[in-house]
Amino acid sequence: MGKAQYDPVDAGHRAWNAGLKVGAKRALKPRQVWAIRFFLDEHRRIRDRALFDLAIDSKLRGCDVVKVKIGDLVLGGQIRTRAIVIQAKTGKPVQFELMTDARASLLAWLERRGGALNDYVFPSRIDHTGHLSTRQYARLVDEWVVGVGLRREEYRTHSLRRTKASIIYKATGNLRAVQILLGHTKIENTVRYLGVDVEDALTLAEGTEI
């Protein structure tokens, strides 16, 4: 089998992912979630704490997290217990619950941030009418995980999306519930996303009697 003339390896150049860990990034464990919360609180990063909590509870993709608007989360001056966001990738709505910690951190941030219902929750530093960029969001996640002693290359923004979904799956084994929460159109996508394998399936089957 021949080699393409533009093959970087053949040309003596390093491949773009040489030395990097590729593939799905790890979900955070509960103790790591709390470690990051403590780190952000300790450094008084109110915006980042709200962003982190929203990302964990919403299970949204990074491109959707940064585009959430105040009106998506606020009703009657209070943070909603449940919110609905239209996903950019699928164009379909996904609903999520905001827990007590997330509601508290979001309220603290929005009281400082101010703004109207149609404004983005996390504005851009360059253009306050725009939203935080996905690149900046990724940089922040890098800071958070490194700040609590985790390896940067093993965690990315998608780790936050996977975290609660993985915890729910491990606690219930309910793939259909996780599919709905993630807004996946096909159960097969959820299976691949969570890395469900034969051993997982057999473990679940052993605990099910008819």
For the chain, the structural domain boundaries read: 30-206
pLDDT for the residue numbered 11 = 47
Q: Which amino acid is at 202?
A: L
Average pLDDT per block of 10 residues along the chain, 210 residues long: 44 45 70 97 98 95 96 95 91 90 97 96 92 96 97 91 82 79 77 62 48
pLDDT for the residue numbered 195 = 67
Supply the angle between the helices 134-147 and 46-58 in degrees, to the nearest 10. Answer: 100
pLDDT for the residue numbered 196 = 57
pLDDT for the residue numbered 60 = 92
pTM of the full structure: 0.77
161: which 2 tokens?
């999306």
pLDDT for the residue numbered 81 = 95
> Which three-class secondary structure state does DSSP give residue 15?
coil
Helices in the chain by DSSP H: which ranges?
30-42, 46-58, 62-65, 70-73, 100-113, 134-147, 157-172, 175-182, 187-194, 198-206
Q: Which amino acid is at 207?
A: G
Look at domain 30-206 and name its CATH class.
Answer: mainly alpha
